Structure 1
Amino acid sequence: MYTCAMCSEHYCKKGELEKLPVNCPCNEKEEQEKIKKLYSEAENYKLAHNSALVEAEGYCKKTRLEEIMDFANKCNFKKLGVAFCVGLSNEAKALCSILKHNGFEVNSVVCKNGSIPKEFLNIKDSEKVRPGTYEAMCNPIGQAIFLNNAKTDLNIILGLCVGHDSLFIKYSDAPITVFAVKDRVLAHNPIGALYLSDGYYKNKLYK
């Protein structure tokens, strides 16, 4: 069992490998050598090398949006895809406008593409967000397929729901980065639940 989240020292970060706990992944030398070989593959090397450069150059200076554009430029990704939630249509419009202004070709596909009724997934009317109304299911596989058809170099997730993002990631041909994730309660700042886990949200999260 791996328990890196419970480690208070993180000797891996410091390079103090003689102090590693028994179940540290650093101890798995053979597996780590296999992993390192994967970074020598051209596409993996390009992504890893350029992400390290972006991290250092923008550290505490650039927003995630700026870093995404820097990363795309360093990788020579000119055709970007945006898979977005219909509830973030205004944000998607602003994002695509900024990307286009900075020289990228942008394809964007909304989650409700295809207008497939939720009944297709055997969702009952009582199980809808708004019973008694027409509700189109989210179609993340469609988002991925249409962006694949557009032959995007890099796809950006903007506010897809939990699970829908999983399907989009599964079917996307291009590498993916996340600009924002869905959290309707915390203004799309899901890590806020962790900051509140010892206070207001303690009873909700530690039932």
Structure 2
Amino acid sequence: MNEEEKELSCAECGTLNCHKHESRYPKFCLTTNVDEEMLEESLECYKDEEGIDRKIALAAADIEGEYYGKLTRVEEILAFARRIDAKKIGIASCVGLAQESKIFAEILKNNGFDVFMAICKVGSRDKCEIGLKEEQKIRPNTFEPMCNPVLQAKYLNKAKTDLNVIMGLCVGHDSLFIKYAKATTTYLVVKDRVLGHNPVVALYTTGTYYKKLLSPKEY
């Protein structure tokens, strides 16, 4: 594929003019070259007075406007839950963050919410049961329970949660949870075992410690 054939997007933009209208749009801009039908379809999602999409969008924008730079993520989730009239909060937690999830659950309860939590190892079945090879385990030839995000989602669905919060599920397991969960889902913690669950640190330091990330590597 030559340079002219490359599909350019926001990843190649250097102006971000859609944000402040203080510069110029690049020729390939998704805003100036917008598919009008897609744009209108997206806007329609927010127009239903009784629709959840409108409620979520307005709640998020309201919190951003009122509390910009003032609230922690924990507090923003509390504010968001209230604005979408959520009563019961589901927590889908990694077992490694069970203690932090319990603290979060206590905070939710202290603020008047009902809470239902499912840990990733729920069901406690060995990883080999779904096709993983013994040598692929962290500790081969030992019982190693699989993460079961589908079962976590089903438990929270059964509990009829109004809002789900992910607490550090593995990459991919979080995707499965979101796929099978019926309630609106947001994140409190994104797992990064190396960086203390703060993955953006790797991006902040690509000029120094994590410069290696900019070079291709097979994983």
TM-score band, normalised by shorter chain: over 0.9
Aligned pair partner of 1:22 in 21, 27, 43: 27
Identity of aligned residues (%): 49
CA offsets, 1:141-195, max 9 Å, x none?
A: 0011110011100000000000000000101100111001110000000001111
Instruction: Provide the C-alpha distance between the structure 2 equivalents of 1:90 and 1:119, rounded to a whole number of angstroms.
Output: 27
The answer (yes or no) to whether the contact 2:15–2:25 under 8 Å persists in 1 is no
TM-score, normalised to structure 2, is: 0.89
1:35 equivalent among 14, 34, 42: 42
Residue 3 of structure 2 corresponds to none
Aligned 8 A contact 2:15 2:26 in 1: no
Look up the match of 1:90: 99
3-state SS in 2 of match to 1:51: helix
Structure 1 portions without partners, runs of 5+ = none
User: Equivalent residue of 1:199, what SS?
Assistant: coil
Q: Does 1:192 align with 2:201?
A: yes
**Pairing 1:161–2:170 present:** yes
Per-residue deviation, residues 98-133 of structure 1 (Å, max 9, x unmatched): 111110000000000011110112112211011121
Moved over 6 A (4+): none
Partner Cα distance (1:117, 1:72) in 2? 35
What is the aligned residue count?
206
- Per the alignment, residue 19 of structure 2 pairs with 13
The structure where helix makes up a greater share of residues is 1
- What's the Cα RMSD here? 1.5
SS where residue 137 of structure 1 aligns?
Answer: coil
Question: Could you tell me which residue of structure 1 aligns to residue 115 of structure 2?
Answer: 106
Deviations 1:14-60 (A, max 9, x none): 2469x322322213133211211111131110000011001111211
Aligned AA (2:167) = L
